[in-house]
């Protein structure tokens, strides 16, 4: 079956990141919605460069007076699913609106602004739409990265022994002009953490996925360093995992020093994960610090894997665990904890 897909949100990121992977799976683009007709049209022009991707019944939808809007889009029978890439505060309401119209939903992370809002969205989906087989999935691409899957295998198959510690450093500097910064809703965030929530869920999901473990308690210090990054841009946190392993998580979007590194330490060795221009770099070391293996795994198929899993979910009538709202909620719960000084994490799967 070829699925009719509508893209809700026509910003730079979905235009550059989603179109080619959607084209590579069993999907046809039948509609694009944006606040402005121009942005929707720009995305449509990019989509039309991909042979056979755009449906013959394709149309644009927008909030301007001269033309059809979102309600008209959701009435279309040939729209089987929507891909939502819009501001964090807007997405949950649109997801529910699409579900009410009988559409499957895959939406950008974070799932919502906080634990309470995330739980409310999940509860409404489960109460009203789950029994109808309607899928709600979250685009946490770090859980669909093959390099991260390889890292998880190394940690869980005993290569480095029993996991004892995890240490993560994610340092960057987001300056005015950065494509992620130049969106009004990110400049003046009306949700906890600012970039620490928007980006932080990625880094938490990586730890949880690779460790195959849950972060159950944190102690943290958080602050705003740069005036243009409210309300917080830096956090230093200590972590306790369900297995008893301990760790640290250092995130800064205001750092003059750049770093992206994760170290998973076991009883027999360690795994170091870093970024490489060609993908994800994995180095396994023995307990003397000698490199045992090294590989670079391309991340070029990450979004293809994500969208293919979403379409498989639709056919199966249930969510892949990697894209499940519960996993996305658990990521938000850890971010909420580290942004507020720490304590017991309010939610993780299984409790």
User: How large is the average pLDDT for residues 44-64?
Assistant: 96
Angle separating helix axes 325-339 and 115-128, nearest 10 degrees: 160
- The whole-number pLDDT of residue 92 equals 98
Do residues 116 and 148 both lie within one domain? no
- The whole-number pLDDT of residue 33 equals 98
- Which residues make Cβ contacts (< 8 Å) with residue 175, sequence separation at least 6? 181, 228
165: region left, alpha or beta (phi > 0 left; psi from -120 to 50 alpha): beta
* Residue 156 in domain: yes
pTM score of the predicted model: 0.96
Do residues 222 and 204 both lie within one domain? yes
pLDDT in tens, 135-194: 999 999 999 999 999 999 999 999 999 999 999 999 999 999 888 877 877 878 888 899
Do residues 295 and 151 both lie within one domain? yes
User: How large is the average pLDDT for residues 191-202?
Assistant: 93
H-helix or E-strand spanning residue 280: strand 279-286
CATH of the domain at 279: 3.30.360.10
- The whole-number pLDDT of residue 189 equals 84
Residue 134 predicted with pLDDT over 70: yes
Total number of domains constituting the chain: 2
Do residues 25 and 42 both lie within one domain? yes
* Residue 123 in domain: yes
Residue 43 predicted with pLDDT over 80: yes
User: If you write DSSP's letter for every residue of 212-264 in order, what string do you get?
Assistant: TS-EEEEEEEEE--STTS-S--EEEEEEEETTS-EEEEEEESEEEEEEEEEEE
User: How large is the average pLDDT for residues 194-215?
Assistant: 97
pLDDT-derived band of residue 77, with 50, 70 and 90 as boundaries? very high
Q: Return mean pLDDT, the chain.
A: 95
Angle separating helix axes 200-211 and 325-339, nearest 10 degrees: 120
Do residues 101 and 212 both lie within one domain? no
Do residues 223 and 131 both lie within one domain? no
Provide the CB-side half-sphere exposure for 239 (13 A, CA): 27
pLDDT in tens, 253-280: 999 999 999 999 999 999 999 999 999 9
Do residues 250 and 126 both lie within one domain? no
Full strand arrangement of the beta sheet holding 279-286:
291-297, 279-286, 269-276, 254-266, 163-173, 246-252, 234-241, 215-223, 342-344
CATH of the domain at 32: 3.40.50.720
User: How large is the average pLDDT for residues 290-296?
Assistant: 97
- The whole-number pLDDT of residue 309 equals 97
Alpha carbon distance 60, 84 (integer Å): 15
Q: Which domain holds residue 153?
A: 143-299+329-344
pLDDT in tens, 3-15: 999 999 998 999 9
Do residues 174 and 104 both lie within one domain? no
Do residues 71 and 103 both lie within one domain? yes
Residue 172 in contact with residue 326, Cβ under 8 Å? no
Do residues 222 and 266 both lie within one domain? yes
Do residues 238 and 160 both lie within one domain? yes
Tokens for 138? 């979250």
């Amino acid at each position: 079956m070829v699925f009719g897909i509508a893209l809700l949100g026509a910003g730079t990121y979905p235009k550059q990141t989603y179109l080619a992977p959607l084209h590579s799976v069993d999907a046809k683009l039948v509609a694009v919605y944006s606040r402005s007709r121009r942005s929707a049209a720009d995305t449509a022009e990019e989509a039309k460069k991909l042979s056979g991707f755009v449906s013959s019944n394709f149309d644009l939808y927008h909030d301007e007076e001269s033309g059809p809007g979102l309600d008209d889009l959701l009435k279309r029978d040939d729209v089987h699913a929507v891909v939502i890439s819009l501001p964090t505060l807007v997405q949950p309401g649109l997801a529910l609106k699409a579900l009410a119209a009988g559409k499957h939903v895959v939406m950008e992370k974070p799932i919502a602004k906080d634990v309470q809002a995330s739980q409310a969205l999940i509860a409404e989906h489960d109460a009203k739409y789950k029994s109808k087989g309607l899928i709600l999935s979250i685009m946490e691409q770090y859980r669909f990265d093959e390099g991260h899957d390889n890292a998880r295998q190394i940690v869980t198959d005993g290569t480095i022994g029993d996991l004892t510690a995890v240490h993560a450093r994610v340092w960057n500097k987001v300056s005015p002009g950065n494509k992620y910064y130049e969106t009004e809703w990110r400049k003046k965030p009306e949700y906890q953490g600012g970039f620490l929530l928007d980006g932080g869920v990625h880094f938490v999901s990586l730890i949880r996925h690779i460790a195959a473990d849950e972060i159950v308690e944190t102690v943290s210090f958080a602050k705003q360093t740069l005036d243009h990054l409210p309300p917080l841009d830096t956090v230093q946190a200590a972590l306790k995992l369900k297995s008893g392993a301990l760790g640290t998580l250092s995130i800064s979007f205001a750092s003059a020093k750049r770093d992206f590194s994760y170290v998973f330490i076991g009883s027999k060795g360690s795994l170091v994960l870093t970024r490489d221009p060609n993908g994800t770099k994995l180095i396994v070391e023995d307990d003397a610090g000698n490199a045992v293996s090294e590989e670079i795994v391309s991340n070029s198929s990450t979004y293809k894997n994500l969208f293919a899993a979403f379409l498989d979910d639709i056919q199966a009538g249930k969510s892949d665990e990697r894209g499940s709202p519960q996993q996305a909620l658990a990521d938000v719960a850890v971010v909420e904890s580290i942004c507020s000084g720490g304590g017991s994490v309010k939610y993780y799967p299984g409790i």
